[in-house]
Structure 1
Amino acid sequence: MEINDQARKELLAQVEHLSDEVINQKPSEDRWSIKQILEHLYLMEGSVAKTIQTKLSDEDQNITTDKPIQLTVDRSRKVDAPDFVIPTTEFSTLHDLKCKLKATHSTLHGVAENTSEDQLAVKSYPHPVFGEMSLTQWIPFVGYHELRHIEQIKDVKEQLGI
């Protein structure tokens, strides 16, 4: 969870002093607002934590090779978000978003702390880009995914003149 904690600290630092109005402002019609990026991140983290918990409870085992998840931070390749992690356009406060991010981060931490490496290594589920990925890799993937979106937040802030 080291990469996850590092990414979360950096994420919160990037949005710390932004107003609710600013985070809800889209830089252009076809780009996400900072609020939408934050919503996407907690939806993603929550989904991964829940899926890991579900996979751990079934008996199926599927050992797979390690994937280059560190490439997730490379934004030269656009990846469309799956429908279940696409954010809404509804107004949200930074406080509300931080609470949701804290909750999903805590859930993922609990999964990581209460599950052995051996349990995670023998189970997997598919990633839209990397294919079948072990549960072991899904946990740090969330951190790399967040680092990718921190760069997106920096771009949005620049486009908004912040």
Structure 2
Amino acid sequence: MKENIQIREELIEVIDHLTDEQLNKKVNNEKWSIIQVLEHLYLMESKLVKLMTRTFNEAPSEVIQDKPIHLATDRTKKITSPPHFEPTDQFITKIEMTEKLNQSRKSLHEFVELTKDHKLDDKGMPHPIFGQINLKQWIPFIGVHEKRHIDQIRELKNELFIK
């Protein structure tokens, strides 16, 4: 969780000086705006925590090998987001989005606290690229995924000529 906290701090720092208009501006119709990237991160984290909680409570134990989740930061490999993690086209303020991100992170902290005395590497959930990932790895994967999108936000800022 420590790394997830550091990555979230980096994310907030990267968007800190941006206005609501800059956050919602699109480079073109093929790319998400920065706020859409943030909304995607919120949707993913909040929905994953719900799925992780259900898996923790209901899934049978199984042997699940660790996966090379660090590879998720490789932006040369384009991945299409599943529809339930797709952002909307709504104008969202930085304050609203920060509150949502804080809410989803609070849920992740609560899951970690709930499961801290339990083994998490024997229950898993599917990932479209890595296959079955155990719950122990899903926690840092959320941060790794966020790191990938911090790089995307930096690219978008450059394309929008925002320093």
The answer on 1:106 being equivalent to 2:106 is yes
| 1:120 CA drift (Å) | 1.3
Counterpart in the other structure of 1:66: 66
Could you tell me which runs of 5 or more consecutive residues in structure 1 were left unpaired when the two chains were aligned.
none
Counterpart in the other structure of 1:159: 159
Larger CA deviation: 118-127 vs 91-100? 118-127
Q: SS of 2:43's equivalent?
A: helix
Q: How does 1:1-162 map to 2 (within 5 A)?
A: 1-116=1-116, 118-162=118-162
Kindly indicate whether the alpha-carbon contact (under 8 Å) linking 2:62 and 2:122 is maintained by their aligned counterparts in 1.
yes
CA distance in 2, matches of 1:6, 1:80: 26
Question: What one-letter code is carried by the residue in structure 2 that aligns with 1:111?
Answer: F
Could you tell me which runs of 5 or more consecutive residues in structure 2 were left unpaired when the two chains were aligned.
none
Q: SS of 1:29's equivalent?
A: coil
Tell me the TM-score normalized by structure 2.
0.96
Question: What one-letter code is carried by the residue in structure 2 that aligns with 1:43?
Answer: L
Kindly indicate whether the alpha-carbon contact (under 8 Å) linking 1:117 and 1:136 is maintained by their aligned counterparts in 2.
no
How many pairs were matched up? 162
Question: What one-letter code is carried by the residue in structure 1 that aligns with 2:147?
Answer: L
| 1:23 CA drift (Å) | 0.4
Q: Deviations over 1:21-74 (max 9, x none)?
A: 110000111000000000000000011111111011115122210000011111
Q: SS of 2:125's equivalent?
A: strand
* Deviant stretches of 4+, over 6 Å: none
Percent of pairs identical after alignment? Answer: 42
Q: Check 1:117–1:128 CA distance in 2 against 1; reply closer, same or farther (3 A cut).
A: farther
CA distance in 1, matches of 2:2, 2:103: 17
Q: SS of 1:38's equivalent?
A: helix
